Structure 1
Amino acid sequence: MKPYVYITRKLSEETIKELTENFEVKMWDHEDLPAPREVLMNEAKRASALITMLSDKVDEELLTAGENLKIVSNLAVGFDNIDLETATKRGIIVTNTPDVLTETTADLTWALLMSAARRIVEAAEYVKAGKWEGWSPYLLAGHDVYGKIIGIVGMGKIGEAVARRAKGFGMEILYHNRTRKTEAEIELGAVYSTFDELVAKSDYVVTLAPLTAETRNLFTADVFAKMKNSAIFINAGRGPVMDEQALYEALKNGEIAGAGLDVFEKEPISADHPLLQLPNVTAIPHIGSASTETRTTMIKLCCSNVKAVLNGDSPKTIVNKQVL
């Protein structure tokens, strides 16, 4: 019998052709909604390979049920949805999709920053609502970006790509990271800062940090209180690094000027979410890497990793290399 591959979202047949030509493949029949837990558990019991999304909880229970499971191929750079320790103990390879989405996600982060700074969404809705009756000096006045200070928390490849864009806008670049990035300091003039220094000095605080025990709930009420009243907070990394209630209070009380959010603590969020009731919040539905070109490349990389493992070869982008 051919190895069985289960995919937790509906993908185009063209993008998974590499798998359907070689293995038995089944997909969940919805593009947007995740496979229910009971479905995923049942499929894991049979599957040799899973292609999962960041919103799929691949925990110890699921991995233990997957007696035939050889690989979990995650359609994301991050893999905090996967119990990596259990996967490694059970000899299950975990792969992700790094590098291929760096520039696309940096584009989106920059668009979010610009939109929040210049109140683009708010202004567009103002026009559509028929409120535009004439010109006035401070009508929907936002904040300058050029020449300001940007603080990047999480200076990985995406952070460096955002910094390159900031350099083009003549911005002073501060960054905070677990390790110093000397090449970025030389190439971009980026300055390493402590976390407290960064949040106090920056006009734009951009977090691209991965979700770890150290970064969970990193942005608290105390942190927002240290920011400039004119500061704008951008989160295009992981939702749980911020305390949403604290952010709401900081925005509502004028402790900071605005926020641009691509991610949230629990996704998806509903239309009555408190942050969505604030006019100084630009919110989008976790679309950091969502360009047609990049998502297609990510899917094909997932498929390539699965094919390699099921054929007894090494995958291109393995997370837990100790399994090999």
Structure 2
Amino acid sequence: MKIVFLYPLRRDAYDFLKEQLPEDIEIIAKIREKYEGLRPNEDPKIIKECKDATILMGPYVTEEILEHAAPSKGGNLKLILIPWTGVDRLNFDIMKKYEIPVANSHGNARTVAEHAIALLLAAAKNLIHHYLLLRRGDWSDRFSGNYPSLNITGKTVGLLGLGAIGTECAKLLQGFNVKIIACRENPEKTTKEQKKLVEKIYSSNHLHKFLNHTDIIINSLPLTEETKGIISEEEFQQMKKEVIVVNVGRGSTIDEQALYEAVKSGKIFAAGLDPQWHYPSRSNNKDENEPTYPSKYPIHEFDNVILSPHRAADLKMGYEEAHWDDVIKNILRVYKNQEPRNLVDLKKGY
């Protein structure tokens, strides 16, 4: 059995997988520390290796690769495995054309949820503004009331999305004496465990009613055609005055101009954002010293917006070692000719 990585893999991650998987599973990967030249999914040597690959790792799958790897083209491919939650970089039209199963991973859910709560508390207490002042020895805003704190105790927290991350957020919030409500596409999918954690669940068809009742919004939605820009100017108008917005889903689920205007007008008390709208170029010709701001609007200039460079799942021990339990389990399921778990609905895009 062969696994081919379509993105550069860190050496420690490669070594970790070699330790965890059976010896007869071959791993083909460009090592990130030595990586230069063509991207793996554009490298003819890697593409050639895809011919007899059983699993392709990562979302960077091209039609050229599937012309080599798909069973309909004589290949051995059984699964495209995304070792993280987001699948929005996949070309779903190609996936459907070649009828290749896709699975993702929810192993990072607890870590991302902890990051969401950290962003929430930092935003509620306006920590960044006062931190920046005190680094300069400036205590002038200490009791001025310009950037005050809010208690979250007694507030209504609205979870926009109740998947693995939203559920972990609900668990972490149990000790804060808050009311927890949620909004999801299909409330009928709510488990018994989730019903115990959340007081009320709204359908996405009643998004505005959900927003009317929330003091704090934690968004963990994936990016699909339906969720792109789901929070726009109209939705911000439905929110309470001085709402706190936390995003650990995908940046483009929130309209960036609408968020900028909502912060500028004071509609938003504070925000904590991990995913962004603009990212550094992956091009090897990119000037490393050239700044890449998170939005085309100057959101980064607001002291009451906590910005995180989409690193909620990054841990000291390494992403793979920390979060790949279910990835490894899925690899082993394919190895044993069993049905993989966490399969993505190719029609819905998540």
Q: TM-score, normalised by structure 1?
A: 0.83
State the match for 1:50 in structure 2. 56
Give the root-mean-square deviation of aligned CA atoms: 3.2
Residue 313 of structure 1 aligns to a residue in which SS?
Answer: coil
Residues 115-163 of structure 1 show CA distances to partners (whole Å, capped at 9, x for unaligned) of 1111223332222222236853637422211111111111123212212
* Counterpart selection for 1:76 from 74, 84, 90: 84
Residue 146 of structure 1 aligns to a residue in which SS?
Answer: coil
Q: In structure 1, what is the Cα distance between the partners aligned to 2:92 and 2:294?
A: 34
Contact map agreement 2:21 2:328 (CA 8 A) in 1: yes
Q: In structure 1, what is the Cα distance between the partners aligned to 2:63 and 2:342?
A: 19
Q: Compared with structure 1, are the counterparts of its residues 218 and 4 closer, same or farther at alpha carbon in structure 2 (3 Å cutoff)?
A: closer
Q: In structure 2, what is the Cα distance between the partners aligned to 1:275 and 1:37?
A: 34
* Counterpart selection for 2:184 from 153, 174, 177: 177
Show structure 1 runs of 5+ residues with no match: none
State the match for 1:9 in structure 2. 8
* Counterpart selection for 1:190 from 183, 199, 207: 199
Q: In structure 1, what is the Cα distance between the partners aligned to 2:340 and 2:194?
A: 30
Show structure 2 runs of 5+ residues with no match: 281-290
Q: In structure 1, what is the Cα distance between the partners aligned to 2:294 and 2:168?
A: 34
Contact map agreement 2:246 2:272 (CA 8 A) in 1: yes
Q: In structure 2, what is the Cα distance between the partners aligned to 1:288 and 1:261?
A: 10
Residue 164 of structure 1 aligns to a residue in which SS?
Answer: helix
State the match for 2:283 in structure 1. none
Q: In structure 2, what is the Cα distance between the partners aligned to 1:139 and 1:252?
A: 14
Aligned length: 314
Residue 30 of structure 2 corresponds to residue 28 of structure 1:
yes
Q: In structure 2, what is the Cα distance between the partners aligned to 1:266 and 1:220?
A: 18
CA apart distance, 1:251: 0.8
Letter in 2 for 1:150: V
Q: In structure 2, what is the Cα distance between the partners aligned to 1:143 and 1:69?
A: 56
State the match for 2:104 in structure 1. 96
Contact map agreement 2:41 2:61 (CA 8 A) in 1: no
Q: In structure 1, what is the Cα distance between the partners aligned to 2:3 and 2:196?
A: 47
Residue 302 of structure 1 aligns to a residue in which SS?
Answer: helix
* Counterpart selection for 2:242 from 227, 230, 248: 230
State the match for 1:242 in structure 2. 254
CA apart distance, 1:210: 1.9
State the match for 2:306 in structure 1. 282
State the match for 1:164 in structure 2. 171
Identity %: 25
* Counterpart selection for 1:209 from 221, 246, 250: 221
Contact map agreement 1:153 1:205 (CA 8 A) in 2: yes
Contact map agreement 2:153 2:177 (CA 8 A) in 1: yes
Q: Compared with structure 1, are the counterparts of its residues 308 and 44 closer, same or farther at alpha carbon in structure 2 (3 Å cutoff)?
A: farther
Letter in 2 for 1:72: I
Contact map agreement 1:10 1:27 (CA 8 A) in 2: yes
Q: TM-score, normalised by structure 2?
A: 0.77
Letter in 1 for 2:215: D
Residue 14 of structure 1 aligns to a residue in which SS?
Answer: helix
State the match for 1:270 in structure 2. 292
